[in-house]
Chains A and B, each alone.
Chain A
Amino acid sequence: MNSPLPWFIAGPLIGLIVPALLFLREKQFGISSSYRFIGATLLPKIKYFSYSKEGDRWQLQFAIGLVFSGLVAGQFFTGFDAVTVQPVEDYQQTALTIYEWKNALQFFIGGILVGFGARYANGCTAGHCIMGVSQFAFSSILATIAFFIGGLIGSLVINPIIF
């Protein structure tokens, strides 16, 4: 498991999830609404969370599948990151040690921005970038461009200065 599954295999397999969800669940690919669903379950008193959440329930089930994939991978590949990442010089150290507790604040802040931004933009990489752009939806093309501009700011400016 030294090198990643090539993009020309992994990409089409991810793309296949879109028709699979439509055929099997009549749902449009997406994942970030699961956060709102969790909120509606745990904190129904907050106004934003008192909505008809049933349409989003499947996303939590989808999310549980994602957690399981991580659990299984963790069992089979011990030292997953260390073995699988092919470091580019700049990131050699961080690539191996990034998921350590001392970086928790960085992940917490990043998580807040991901949660906030996904709801504000009305979708994330799955819902906008893959599902939306493949429909040629203007909203999703705009959001995807913004994802990348934000990503460049974070990766090239914020990360080297702050984290």
Chain B
Amino acid sequence: MLKFLVTLLLGFFFGSILLASQAFSWYRIQEMFHFQSFHMFGLLFSAIGTSAFFLFLIKRSKAKSVYGNPIDVQPKKLEWKANLLGGLIFGIGWSISGACSAPVYILVGLHWKIGIVLLLGAFVGTILYGLTENKLPRQ
């Protein structure tokens, strides 16, 4: 229950930042891909920089989690065709809907009609991937 609440709160925090910075918004995504503002680029770069800094500290200090286990961070497996082709498809979807995975959930709460359509779409996409998984090029 405590784990659930902690995770829920972190999700709430993440969503609130995406809302306040307007990164969830279709408009901000179009603006980014039209290079009309530095806002989204600055947001992404500073998020990556902050994360990299803390990952470096965690590695150096051999920090432990609240459960007392060493924190182990693994990179995602390299499957270059899957990373590139999947990434390309994801990017097209991101700019058409103006939402990546997290804003889909935010929109369920904010504009529930469109949010549910988006979530349904993402779910259908996941099923389609599951049905074609073995036929897709990977590496």
Q: Which residues of A contact B (CB under 8 A)?
A: 4-26, 28-29, 31-32, 34-36, 38-39, 43, 46-49, 58, 61-74, 80-81, 84-85, 87-88, 90-91, 94-95, 98-101, 103-104, 106-140, 142-156, 158-159, 163
B interface residues, how many (CB within 8 angstroms): 116
Q: How far is the CA of A13 from the CA of B43 in the complex (A)?
A: 10
A80 contacts which of B76, B110, B121 (Cβ < 8 Å)? Answer: B110
Interchain CB contact under 8 A, A19 and B118? no
On whether A98 and B98 interact (CB within 8 A), knowing A7-B42, A67-B106, the answer reads yes
Q: What is the count of residue pairs linking A and B with beta-carbon distances less than 8 angstroms?
A: 485
Interchain CB contact under 8 A, A25 and B6? yes
Interchain CB contact under 8 A, B117 and A107? yes
Q: How far is the CA of A127 from the CA of B48 in the complex (A)?
A: 11
Interchain CB contact under 8 A, B14 and A66? yes
Q: How far is the CA of A141 from the CA of B37 in the complex (A)?
A: 22
B51 contacts which of A7, A120, A134, A138 (Cβ < 8 Å)? Answer: A134
A24 contacts which of B16, B23, B39, B66 (Cβ < 8 Å)? Answer: B66
Interchain CB contact under 8 A, A69 and B76? no
Q: Which residues of B contact A (CB under 8 A)?
A: 3-4, 6-34, 36-55, 57-58, 63, 65-67, 69, 71, 73-80, 82-102, 104-111, 113-115, 117-131, 133, 136
Interface SS of chain A: helix, strand, loop or mixed?
helix
Residues of A within 8 A of B31 (CB): 88, 91
Interchain CB contact under 8 A, B14 and A150? no
Interchain CB contact under 8 A, B106 and A70? yes
Q: How far is the CA of A1 from the CA of B75 in the complex (A)?
A: 38
Interchain CB contact under 8 A, A25 and B7? yes
